[in-house]
Amino acid sequence: ATPTAVMVATGKGASQGVLIKGGNALEKAHKVKAIIFDKTGTLTVGKPSVVQTKVFSNIPLLELCDLAAGSEANSEHPLSKAIVEYTKKLREQYGSHSDHMMESKDFEVHPGAGVSANVEGKLVLVGNKRLMQEFEVPISSEVEGYMSETEELARTCVLVAINRTICGALAVSDPLKPEAGRAISYLTSMGISSIMVTGDNWATAKSIAKEVGINTVFAEIDPVGKAEKIKDLQMQGLTVAMVGDGINDSPALAAADVGLAIGAGTDVAIEAADIVLMRSSLEDVITAIDLSRKTLSRIR
Ligand code: ADP
Ligand code: MG
């Protein structure tokens, strides 16, 4: 495309909330054959909330949540925020007016797994199966059962272990964006295939994919793994786009031929991307590709 055509398209995009960072992204977007979508915060709203709780020992629910929230208090992860928020609501229900979180020490983030901290002298682990395995916490068949029950409902099951015993679990739900299904089926009609990649577990990932109409799923993938999936597709000769919102998506956004960041996402993702979707709507993935297709056909 001529510099003028690029300028016109960039301006048009900007007026629709699609920020295209350079001519290169615009030139490549019309060739895209496959799009990899992150799940949390990209296909889903990214505002998870606790919808169910389960206690496996004789600990009171409020104490379980207080300890879990204490461990999550210093984390920016959407799951952490959901747990802290739920705990605050629970306290109100129990008639407590204090907003004060339990103090924690030795807080650590385990990417793609959860958090650990010392809360009131107890080792409190909050996260998935992988986190429990890392700390050699046994998982009973009762816990396994609750996990699969939860995950089949497209919810994420967050386990809470206190001093290396799983004492409870929180089922967290993050609804699909309302336009997600429509956007995916429109992309299919444009000859573009959609793929989902997530750090979340297989069962939850598959049920979300089914809901949104995506057939190809890769779950339990770490940030480096997400970028590798992009490279695999590129090796097959495909021009690949990636849509993501998180720090954990930035290597993939950089590896993709066209990286699209959700505007509501983290700064790191926005920096790594070629195109920023300011309205955070998945329909703007189509807007971006359309703009590229039109710009490049005009000069042909
Ligand atoms: P995604 O790729 O879906 O954005 P992440 O890589 O951030 O997900 O996390 C993958 C999984 O690791 C989550 O589904 C959850 O099971 C677990 N996890 C990560 N961070 C936390 C946390 N702060 N608290 C509890 N669980 C967590
Ligand atoms: Mg995400």
Task: Please write the tens of the pLDDT for every residue from 176-214.
Answer: 999 999 999 999 999 999 999 999 999 999 999 999 999
Where does ligand 1 bind, in terms of residues with CB under 6 Å? 38-40, 72, 75, 77, 79-80, 112-115, 126-128, 156, 158, 198-200, 246, 248
Ligand 1 atom nearest residue 80's Cα: 23
C-alpha 198/C-alpha 236 separation (Å) is 21
Task: Please write the tens of the pLDDT for every residue from 163-177.
Answer: 999 999 999 999 999
Please tell me the predicted confidence (pLDDT) of residue 36.
98
Pairing outcome for strands 156-162 and 165-173: antiparallel
Q: Which listed ligand is nearest to 246 at the C-alpha?
A: 2
C-alpha 5/C-alpha 299 separation (Å) is 8
Q: Per the residue annotation, which of 38, 249, 274, 284 is the catalytic one?
A: 38
What is the whole-number distance in angstroms between the Cα of residue 209 and the centre of ligand 2?
14
Closest residue by Cα to atom 9, ligand 1, is 112
Please tell me the predicted confidence (pLDDT) of residue 222.
87
Substitution site in 86, 135, 158, 266 for ligand 1 pocket (most atoms within 8 Å of beta carbon): 158
Task: Please write the tens of the pLDDT for every residue from 72-116.
Answer: 999 988 899 999 999 999 999 988 767 777 889 999 999 889 999
Q: Tell me the mean pLDDT in the region 13-29.
A: 94
Active site residue 200: no
Quick one: pLDDT band at residue 298, thresholds 50, 70, 90?
low
Ligand 1 atom nearest residue 204's Cα: 14
Q: What number is the ipTM of this complex?
A: 0.96
**What does pLDDT average to over the chain?**
94
Element containing residue 51 per DSSP (H, E):
strand 49-55
C-alpha 134/C-alpha 117 separation (Å) is 14
